[in-house]
Amino acid sequence: MSWPDYLKQHQAAHLEDFRAFLAIPSISAQPARQADVRRAAEWLAGRFRQAGFTAEVCPTAGHPVVLAEYCPYPDRPTVLFYGHYDVQPADNPERWNSPPFEPTVVDGRIVARGASDMKGQVMAFLLAAEALIATGSLHLNVKALIEGEEEISSPSLPAFIEQHRERLRCDMIINGDSGQLSETTPLLSLGARGICGLEFDLIGPSHDLHSGSWGGQVQNPLHAMAELIASLHNPDGSVAVEGFYDDVEPLSPELREWYKRIPWNEAEMKQKLGVPEFYGEAGYSPWERITGRPTLEVNGMWGGYMGPGGMTVIPSTAHAKITCRLVPYQDPDKIVALIRSHLEARLPKGVRLEVRVKESGAPAFRMRADHPVAQVAREVLTELYGVPPVETMFGGSVPILSTLKQQLGHDPVSFGFGLEDELIHSPNEFFRLSSFEKGKQGYARLLMRLAS
Amino acid sequence: MSWPDYLKQHQAAHLEDFRAFLAIPSISAQPARQADVRRAAEWLAGRFRQAGFTAEVCPTAGHPVVLAEYCPYPDRPTVLFYGHYDVQPADNPERWNSPPFEPTVVDGRIVARGASDMKGQVMAFLLAAEALIATGSLHLNVKALIEGEEEISSPSLPAFIEQHRERLRCDMIINGDSGQLSETTPLLSLGARGICGLEFDLIGPSHDLHSGSWGGQVQNPLHAMAELIASLHNPDGSVAVEGFYDDVEPLSPELREWYKRIPWNEAEMKQKLGVPEFYGEAGYSPWERITGRPTLEVNGMWGGYMGPGGMTVIPSTAHAKITCRLVPYQDPDKIVALIRSHLEARLPKGVRLEVRVKESGAPAFRMRADHPVAQVAREVLTELYGVPPVETMFGGSVPILSTLKQQLGHDPVSFGFGLEDELIHSPNEFFRLSSFEKGKQGYARLLMRLAS
């Protein structure tokens, strides 16, 4: 039997498998669900075994990792698939049209928490591998690393990977926690920005003061805050923190050419975001600004009286939260230290500074457009959708990509089938059955091509 | 009988009068108390009549004004006394040790809402005048203007004064809504700063954006806010709004000499306010900064995520509230217009500006230290306390002072007996019985001296 026939013949049974997986409420964020999370791991390891893998539920400091292996070919390459089996909480059950853990098919969509993010793609990959194994068509080694803590920022994963580096050794990496641009347009992402963050307080008088009685003689923490925040950027839109760009590689001419090919419809984008005009670092195109250049953004800033009417107060404190998006070679810890130094050096008179660093920093990830696995992914997507993928990078951060690259030495290629409208992290999350089928087809073709 | 004997003889009856006045819950802010406010006005007019005045409860657009007159001397000067009979709300009755409208004497203090602010001083003035009239000692004309809306910013008073300017004509004005520095140290205030205010929004994208996806290409309203707020001051601490100082008179050498005599204990003040160091406009002393120079203060500034942890957002909007303290010759409306122009001229790219002007602006008030009524007040206070008054100005705003001056053409001299610790606007407000006696003595002596 050919693998496509195998998939076709088992279509109904595969949907039942998917349902069974979705029915387990593997909510990593809720301690009460710990046993369910473990149950999902056990179920998944069992299903991998059924497909022909060896599989193990491996303990970590937190929720377990499922490690599955099909490695019969000592002389052939090995591909590692990354995914996660945990899901977001599903509170507010009244906002769900059907219970979040009773998967329901409506109009070609399967509605359940975790359907799109990302049990659908874990199942699609597993079933594709199974079809190839069952039909004697899998000609390379496959490992699957499926974690249970992605929705809580993967606290245990970096240590786990480091500890099991030998066992996870591979020649190429596929990240399944990803998606396509639309039902008809595929997407190939070649990078994601890193992230680091801090928050700080400016502390002036020990209590709020009457601005009539003391205005003019006491530093207003809000004035000091505005001065400090304003000092973080230059008039040309670039970041003014000394050393911020020191480790940033200039965009290569090839990369800038590549950027020019990403579509950008200024009028449409303005409308979508509802901005009167765009603004950013001088000398760079929109996509270069969003994904190729680092940024510093204030995510929150506050102090004083914020209610209706007025209150003539000089507040005791002012507060700000900042995150930066990083590009390759910028180190999250170093950037945070530079910002702290900048704030300390420019601290206005009359206020004290207290800085708190966020711990979840991550460096950027970027791969070459001509990377051989990216090239294979590009070909498979073109075959599958009939059009070549839109190529881009993410402006946001996908810390797993740099973790995998750092620990295992290969650029992970993102190859998944979620779509933007599938209500992930919201009530009524769903996954298209057509995406489920496309996923199985896509992963099978990818594994076939990677073997050759 | 001498007027001191008269006061002594009626001491007990006067305390009962004071109690009766305090028992009427004349809370101007609460529509449900409208009848009580009116009842307090009627009671007060009746008591003025009993003292020998003609008195009338005059309607306004809001709560009525009590107008009392004792004007038997066509050829002698007339003094106008300003006060208010309304009081703050007294919510949270559980925080009062005795019901707010059941006046209770404890340890030489009478506890009731409005005792210190300012039924105590209205009664003291009325009883002083009564004692002088009853003993044939009042040798000038007296008018009293007692409003019922001071605690809600006197919305009807300016129009009322303008409308009754002829009837309110006088030669000198006493403002009783005032106080002393302590039980042993009198205070003579020669001015108060004016006030004006506005609030504004900066509006960027039509909804909050993910700072990973869009950071770098979209103006962050918080950055724009910081830039705008920072642009309002110069590095030397002065206000950077063009034209802000145009109408400000330089401090005269005499005034600067006068300022040098106000005590300023730097270490003690630092401790009291809990500031690491003081900060203000270069070239001016602390008291000059606080009362002699205008200021621009941000009272509130906010936008984005303010909760615990982080949220990678570019907020749609940012907000700020600003008030200015003004000195003589600065016009509140003009200053607000200058600030608006400043903001408009410096508006960063990518955001829209929406300004809302606060309506309750008021110009500054300042009188000469050698003003003849101030000189009389100085003498009476010195006599009464055995030490000369500390002379100062208020950094805060007392709009009634400039209203009276503008409409009636005379500098009001503040002469009242409240003390800072008397919990005005708080539960358990009280007035010292000793201040009540001192008030009667003080007003009687003042009226005696003003006649000569």
**Which chain B residues are closer than 8 Å to A393 by Cβ?**
none
Task: In whole angstroms, give the CA distance from residue B280 to residue B275.
Answer: 13
Reported in sequence order, the residue ranges of B282-385 that DSSP labels E, i.e. its strands, are 295-304, 313-314, 317-326, 352-357, 365-366
The yes-or-no verdict on residue B425 having pLDDT over 90 is no
Within a domain: A275: no
Residue matched to tokens 């001498």: B2
Residue B370, pLDDT score: 92
**Which chain B residues are closer than 8 Å to A216 by Cβ?**
280-281, 289-290, 293, 295, 325, 395
Task: In whole angstroms, give the CA distance from residue A249 to residue A288.
Answer: 13
The answer to whether residues A353 and A233 touch, using CB atoms and an 8 Å cutoff, is no
Q: Listing from the earlier edge strand, what are the strands of the sheet with A104-106?
A: A104-106, A109-111, A430-432
Average pLDDT over residues B246-260: 94
> Which of B436, B420, B445, B447 lies closest to B18, judged by CA?
B436
Within a domain: A369: yes
The yes-or-no verdict on residue B12 having pLDDT over 80 is yes
Q: Are strands A412-414 and B78-84 parallel, antiparallel or unpaired?
A: unpaired
A321 touches chain B (CB under 8 A): yes
Average pLDDT over residues A291-315: 93
Average pLDDT over residues B263-280: 93
Range(s) of the domain holding residue B242 = 194-248+294-357
The yes-or-no verdict on residue A309 having pLDDT over 90 is no
Residue B358, pLDDT score: 82
Within a domain: B87: yes
Please indicate whether, in this complex, the C-beta atoms of A297 and B217 are within 8 angstroms of each other.
Answer: no
Residue A359, pLDDT score: 72
Please indicate whether, in this complex, the C-beta atoms of B352 and A216 are within 8 angstroms of each other.
Answer: no
A432 touches chain B (CB under 8 A): no
Locate A448 and state its tokens. 């076939």
Which of A206, A219, A275 is facing B279, going by the closest CB pair? A219
Q: Are residues B128 and B174 in the same domain?
A: yes
- Using pLDDT thresholds of 50, 70 and 90, give the confidence band for residue A432: very high
**Which chain B residues are closer than 8 Å to A233 by Cβ?**
223, 227
Q: Are residues B180 and B143 in the same domain?
A: yes
Within a domain: A271: no
Q: Are residues B121 and B217 in the same domain?
A: no
pLDDT digits (tens, 9 = 90+) for A150-194: 998 899 999 999 999 999 999 999 999 999 999 999 999 999 999
CATH number (domain holding residue B310): 3.30.70.360
B272 touches chain A (CB under 8 A): no
**Which chain B residues are closer than 8 Å to A225 by Cβ?**
226, 301
The yes-or-no verdict on residue B359 having pLDDT over 80 is no
pLDDT digits (tens, 9 = 90+) for B367-422: 999 999 999 999 999 999 999 999 999 999 889 999 999 999 999 999 999 998 99
Number of domains in chain B: 2
Within a domain: A259: no
Which of A197, A228, A395 is facing B214, going by the closest CB pair? A395
Q: To probe the interface with A, which of B207, B218, B325 has the most A CB atoms within 10 Å?
A: B218
Query: Considering only alpha carbons, which residue of chain A is nearest residue B311?
Result: A299
Residue B188, pLDDT score: 96
Residue A170, pLDDT score: 98
- Interface size, chain A vs chain B, as Cβ–Cβ contacts under 8 Å: 264
Locate A82 and state its tokens. 């990354």
> Which of A14, A15, A34, A13 lies closest to A25, judged by CA?
A34
Please indicate whether, in this complex, the C-beta atoms of B298 and A223 are within 8 angstroms of each other.
Answer: yes
The answer to whether residues B422 and B431 touch, using CB atoms and an 8 Å cutoff, is yes
Mean pLDDT (chain B, rounded): 95
Q: Please say which residue of B357, B382, B411 terminates a domain.
A: B357
Q: Are residues B134 and B223 in the same domain?
A: no
Within a domain: A327: yes
Q: Are residues B154 and B204 in the same domain?
A: no
Q: Are residues A336 and A443 in the same domain?
A: no
- Using pLDDT thresholds of 50, 70 and 90, give the confidence band for residue B200: very high
The yes-or-no verdict on residue A91 having pLDDT over 90 is no
Residue matched to tokens 């707020």: B229
In terms of Cβ atoms closer than 10 Å to its own Cβ (0-12, 13-18, 19+), residue A358 is middle
Within a domain: B274: no
* Angstroms from A302 CA to nearest CA on chain B: 4
> Which of A92, A152, A78, A86 lies closest to A119, judged by CA?
A86
Within a domain: A238: yes
Task: In whole angstroms, give the CA distance from residue B149 to residue A233.
Answer: 49
CATH number (domain holding residue B403): 3.40.630.10
pLDDT digits (tens, 9 = 90+) for A5-48: 999 999 999 999 999 999 999 999 999 999 999 999 999 999 99
Q: Are residues B439 and B302 in the same domain?
A: no
Q: Please say which residue of A312, A334, A357 terminates a domain.
A: A357
- Using pLDDT thresholds of 50, 70 and 90, give the confidence band for residue A310: confident
Locate A365 and state its tokens. 């990830």
Q: Are residues B17 and B138 in the same domain?
A: yes
The yes-or-no verdict on residue B236 having pLDDT over 80 is yes
Q: Are residues B112 and B170 in the same domain?
A: yes
Average pLDDT over residues A60-82: 97
Q: Are residues B224 and B110 in the same domain?
A: no
Specify the amino acid at residue A440.
K
Q: To probe the interface with B, which of A218, A311, A326 has the most B CB atoms within 10 Å?
A: A218
Q: Are residues B107 and B25 in the same domain?
A: yes
Q: Are residues A112 and A222 in the same domain?
A: no
Residue A76, pLDDT score: 97
Task: In whole angstroms, give the CA distance from residue A329 to residue A141.
Answer: 32
- Using pLDDT thresholds of 50, 70 and 90, give the confidence band for residue B93: confident
The yes-or-no verdict on residue B74 having pLDDT over 90 is yes
Residue B102, pLDDT score: 98
B395 touches chain A (CB under 8 A): yes
Share of residues in chain A with pLDDT > 70 (%): 100
- Using pLDDT thresholds of 50, 70 and 90, give the confidence band for residue A246: very high
Task: In whole angstroms, give the CA distance from residue B83 to residue B329.
Answer: 26
A446 touches chain B (CB under 8 A): no
Task: In whole angstroms, give the CA distance from residue B369 to residue B255.
Answer: 9
Q: Please say which residue of B319, B338, B357 terminates a domain.
A: B357
* Angstroms from A336 CA to nearest CA on chain B: 15
